[in-house]
Amino acid sequence: MIDPLFWLGLSLLLVATSLTAVLVAALPALQELARAARSAEKLFDTLSRDLPPTLEAIRVTGLEITDLTDDVSESVKSASQVAKQVDQSLDSARKQAQNLQVGTRSIFVGAKAAWRNFTRQKPTKRNNDRLLSNEQPLTLREREMLRPENRRIKTEVYRANDGYNDAANWETNFDDED
């Protein structure tokens, strides 16, 4: 066989040639990789400059939304309380209106009764209805006779007396009335 040193040299030459070919082939790829790295660095710089204020703005917006949500819920609660107060005021107004209606009706009834009493004809004063201090009190029958609705006109008194006092003529008087 041939000398092992030859094979060692040849293999070293092939390895060096392969490495050179790989290096020549990798140079454009490494240049593109360097250019991509610079672009990535620029992107990261831009992100590091712009992203924190944007994230801060998003955080502040989230806090503002939370505050607005709390304000809206408080407004809804206060609106519900106002609605309850309005409902209570309407109920009390309804009760007051009913009381006013009853009071007004009572006033009108009282005024109507007063007007009737004021405009009615006054009965004439009768001295015979009242007892004088020196007279004796009247009996119940006498008081009943003094009332105007129990008084009879003279023709009724005579007719009644004729019928009862004349015992013999009661049948003829009865026939005459028919």
Tokens 């009996």 found at: 139
Angstrom CA distances, 90 to 76, 86, 96, 105, 109, stand at 21, 6, 10, 22, 28
Tokens 């015992």 found at: 167
Residue-by-residue pLDDT tens, the chain, 178 positions: 578 888 899 999 999 999 999 999 999 999 999 999 999 999 999 988 988 888 999 999 999 999 999 999 999 999 999 999 999 999 999 998 888 888 888 888 888 888 888 888 776 655 555 545 556 677 877 777 777 666 666 555 555 545 444 555 555 555 554 4
Tokens, residue 125? 């004063």
Q: How confident is the model at residue 145, as a pLDDT?
A: 72
Note whether 131 and 137 are within 8 A (CB): yes
pTM over 0.75: no
Q: How confident is the model at residue 74, as a pLDDT?
A: 93
Cα–Cα dist 168/173, whole Å: 10
DSSP 102-114: HHHHHHHHHHHHH
Angstrom CA distances, 110 to 100, 101, 121, stand at 15, 14, 19
Tokens 């092939």 found at: 14
